[in-house]
């Protein structure tokens, strides 16, 4: 259906663009559910082309633009994803849509940048700060995710002045998230708190944060979050000299290796290589 309505829309059938968009989105969701991330990107790109033929209102196009950016990031098309998030942010600012400004900037943060001081990292911190100001703390769950991303961005700059700001920002993110009752936001905030406490000799403190994360997301921890928590716990145990860490790392690698996306494949190879080096 996505293929047929997409072809009709591209051929100029004025009535076809709306079902073309709907079915392309459904096909993209199905593809992503089967780890066919490149296929999901292709479907959503066709959806965006069909939507443009219908001369959509700006909010509708913005929503689809963010979907395209998310799909490109999942597929490992990081440069394209970053460019799409930036485009989405510009549109959201023009609409004075603080929520989607925040979503675009959080997405840009998730694309990732090299650790250490850089103009790009400083620029990302500025974008996150602006997003936080536009939200004004509401909705609290989204504000918490912005603050969590900002804390990580500041901490991984490795600039003493920036790093000193990271812990209070992460703690504020945890307060906002816990107040909102949103499990995803709470997880993001606690992960940021874990990151800013990642100093030599602080393995036990990080394990305490991970215990809080496990309690806060009890029953919701079976997917990617559970795997990430397992990896972080393994790394803390390794730092503490606990040989059980190696079992945890291998269990993590076996599980995440089945996901099939580029980031997961990188995680498996890099973690197993690190174990071999040790």
Closest C-alpha to 46, from 27, 63, 62, 31: 27
What pLDDT shows up at residue 56? 87
What pLDDT shows up at residue 159? 93
Identify whether the C-beta of residue 231 lies closer than 8 Å to the C-beta of residue 44: no
For residue 169, give Cα distances in angstroms to 141, 151, 215, 273.
15, 5, 22, 34
Distance of alpha carbon 13 from alpha carbon 78, whole angstroms: 34
Neighbouring CB atoms inside 10 A of 181's CB total: 10
Distance of alpha carbon 275 from alpha carbon 228, whole angstroms: 17
Neighbouring CB atoms inside 10 A of 222's CB total: 9
Length of the chain: 278
Identify whether the C-beta of residue 31 lies closer than 8 Å to the C-beta of residue 43: yes
3-state secondary structure of 76: coil
What pLDDT shows up at residue 187? 92
Regions of the chain short of the pLDDT cut 50: none
Q: What DSSP designation does 223 have?
A: S
CB-facing half-sphere around the CA of 190: CA atoms within 13 A: 24
**Contacts of 114 by beta carbon, 8 Å cutoff, 6+ apart:** 120
User: Which token pair is 210?
Assistant: 């991970």
What pLDDT shows up at residue 163? 93
What pLDDT shows up at residue 179? 94
Neighbouring CB atoms inside 10 A of 40's CB total: 27
Closest C-alpha to 132, from 121, 143, 148: 143
What pLDDT shows up at residue 223? 64
Distance of alpha carbon 6 from alpha carbon 199, whole angstroms: 52
Note the helical H segments in the chain.
2-10, 17-33, 37-53, 58-74, 78-94, 98-111, 119-135, 140-155, 160-180, 183-196, 203-216, 224-239, 244-256, 262-277
What pLDDT shows up at residue 222? 53
Classify residue 137 by burial, with Cβ atoms within 10 Å: 0-12, 13-18, 19+.
middle
What pLDDT shows up at residue 144? 97
What's this model's pTM, rounded to 2 decimal places? 0.89
Find tokens 């663009």 and name the residue: 17
């Amino acid at each position: 259906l996505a293929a047929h309505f997409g072809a009709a829309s591209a051929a100029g059938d004025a009535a076809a663009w709306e079902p073309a968009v709907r079915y392309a989105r459904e096909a993209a969701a199905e593809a992503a559910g089967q780890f066919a991330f490149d296929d999901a990107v292709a479907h959503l790109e066709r959806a965006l082309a069909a939507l443009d033929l219908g001369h959509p209102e700006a909010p509708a196009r913005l929503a689809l633009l963010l979907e395209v950016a998310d799909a490109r990031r999942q597929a490992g098309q990081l440069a394209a994803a970053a460019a799409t998030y930036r485009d989405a942010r510009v549109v959201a600012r023009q609409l004075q849509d603080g929520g989607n400004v925040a979503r675009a900037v959080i997405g840009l943060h998730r694309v990732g940048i090299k650790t250490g001081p850089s103009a790009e990292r400083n620029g990302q911190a500025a974008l996150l700060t602006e997003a936080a100001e536009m939200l004004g703390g509401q909705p609290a769950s989204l504000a918490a995710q912005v603050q969590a991303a900002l804390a990580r961005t500041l901490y991984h700059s490795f600039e003493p002045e920036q790093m000193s700001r990271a812990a209070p920002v992460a703690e504020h993110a945890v307060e906002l998230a816990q107040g909102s009752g949103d499990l995803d936001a709470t997880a993001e905030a606690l992960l940021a708190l874990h990151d800013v406490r990642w100093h030599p000799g602080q393995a036990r403190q990080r394990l305490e944060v991970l215990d809080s994360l496990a309690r806060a997301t009890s029953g919701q921890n079976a997917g990617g979050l559970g795997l990430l928590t397992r990896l972080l716990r393994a790394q803390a145990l390794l730092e503490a000299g606990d040989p059980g860490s190696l079992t945890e790392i291998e269990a993590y690698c076996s599980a995440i290796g089945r996901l099939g996306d580029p980031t997961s494949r990188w995680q498996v190879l890099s973690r197993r290589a690190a174990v071999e080096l040790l």
